[in-house]
Amino acid sequence: MKIRSMFAALAATAAMPLTAHAVDLEVTHWWTSGGEAAAVAEFAKAFDATGNHWVDGAIAGSGGTARPIMISRITGGDPMAATQFNHGRQAEELVEAGLMRDLTDVAEAEGWADLVNPPTLLDACTLDGRIYCVPVNIHSWQWLWLSNQAFADAGVPVPANWDEFVAAAPALEAAGKIPLAVGQQPWQTSGAFDVLLVALAGPDVFRKVYGDKDAEAAAGPEIARVFQAADDARRMSANSNVQDWNQATNLVITGQAGGQIMGDWAQGEFQVAGQVAGEDYTCLPGLGVNEIISTGGDAFYFPIVDDADVTEAQGVLASVMMSPETQVAFNLKKGSLPVRGDVDLAAANDCMKKGLEILASGNVLPSVDELLSPDTTTQKNDLFVEFFNNPDMTPEDAQARFVEIIDSAD
């Protein structure tokens, strides 16, 4: 080895926290699409560089399938060493039950409180002043992804906002396209509704309904308008019979569909397909109506295990996930924004840059996962599965059910 590369190797090693013994850590997550797999490989690579070994525990079928499996393994005495959840309340009961490792020592040693931005991400990891998770990204839901090809084929300009998109639907249909691609997993229609809510009813109504659980606001005229828009979305997506979110994204990538309302993780799929923002596809934050993003995303939790080496290696993984290098490498592939403001994202594509600008402007909202309990979220998901699959359910009926859910929400 040449002297210079020997020094480089030594410097790299010195920067990495090392454990006394090499440890295999099983890490569960639901990142199985092309973009997600590329991103999670960056975590594995960075952790393996510490001399330990990432044992990949991907669970196919999205969060709705993965979370019950993760939770039952932890409560059933067969915990993995680390696991993904969304920022917010999904692991609340596990933390309260004392099943999760307290990471406060790692967080304090590394000054997470000073570098995590926005601070709500760390708040979502904190219970009674102790930190139980490492936030790894900021994912926002408020995006409309449009296929430039589909609009060219239909002979209409790429829309600049939701209303123009709805108006373009007949032209897309006449050209044999599905106007709006929506997958059948329950969280997708529910998520799309929330995006319409923020765009059309505005952030104050969003905070009232999901933050204050204000049933009166849920019954009001602003939300009635959102249900009318959801009715448009239902009609525009009637022929979109795919299951997974990334299959729906693929309909946009291949120009078979006009657009998709989806979180910014969709960017990972455009990237893997070699598509370029602005050339092949267009992204409209806030549906082109209200440029605002929610600051949800993913966090890793570390179940308590009876093995000192594993416990130590858990701390190493938490630290690796928060390191500036990993934050850049992982988030560029994931389509998400880093959780620390002190890293350079010069390589970000145009859509990520828009997200970074909105974040810097402070025009942000908490995610629904941070506001609603998993129980309430399930009820809401069930409602939207029914609404999108049953054309006989009127927007008014659906709003009445929504009001009941908000009225009893926790």
Q: Which is nearer to ligand GAL, 193 or 245 (CB)?
A: 245
Least distance (Å) between residue 319 CB and ligand GAL: 21
Span of 30-38, 164-172, 375-383, 386-394 interacting with ligand GAL by CB under 6 A: 30-38
Residue whose C-alpha is closest to residue 79's, from 320, 314, 322, 378? 314
Instruction: Rule CB under 6 A: choose which of 28, 36, 132, 379 binds ligand GAL.
Output: 36
Is-cis flag, bond preceding 118, omega within 30? yes
- 265: contact with ligand GAL by CB under 6 A: yes
Q: Which is nearer to ligand GAL, 36 or 370 (CB)?
A: 36
**According to CB under 6 A, which residues from 80 to 119 bind ligand GAL?**
86
CB 305 within 8 A of CB 311: yes
List the Cα angle 138/96/377 in 5-degree steps. Answer: 50
CB 103 within 8 A of CB 300: no
List the Cα angle 366/369/370 in 5-degree steps. Answer: 50
Number of residues that make up the chain: 410
DSSP classification of residue 257: E
List of residues 6+ apart from 168 with CB closer than 8 A: 151, 154, 156, 159, 179, 258
- 245: contact with ligand GAL by CB under 6 A: yes
Residue of closest CB approach to ligand GAL: 265
Q: Is 70 helix (H, G, I), strand (E, B) or coil?
A: helix
Span of 29-37, 90-98, 127-135, 271-279 interacting with ligand GAL by CB under 6 A: 29-37
Least distance (Å) between residue 183 CB and ligand GAL: 10
Least distance (Å) between residue 36 CB and ligand GAL: 5
**According to CB under 6 A, which residues from 130 to 149 bind ligand GAL?**
139
CA 148 – CA 156 distance, rounded (Å): 10
Total residues contacting ligand GAL by CB under 6 A comes to 11
Instruction: Rule CB under 6 A: choose which of 17, 27, 31, 285 binds ligand GAL.
Output: 31
- 191: contact with ligand GAL by CB under 6 A: no
CA 392 – CA 398 distance, rounded (Å): 10
Span of 28-36, 50-58, 113-121, 370-378 interacting with ligand GAL by CB under 6 A: 28-36
**According to CB under 6 A, which residues from 54 to 73 bind ligand GAL?**
62-63
- 387: contact with ligand GAL by CB under 6 A: no
CB 265 within 8 A of CB 331: no
Please give the full DSSP string across 358-400, using - where no structure is assigned. HHHHT-EE--HHHHS-HHHHHHHHHHHHHHHH-TTS-HHHHHH
**According to CB under 6 A, which residues from 287 to 306 bind ligand GAL?**
297-298
Least distance (Å) between residue 309 CB and ligand GAL: 29
Q: Which is nearer to ligand GAL, 36 or 194 (CB)?
A: 36
Q: Which residue has the tokens 């409180």?
A: 113
Binding site for ligand GAL (CB under 6 A): 30-31, 36, 62-63, 86, 139, 245, 265, 297-298
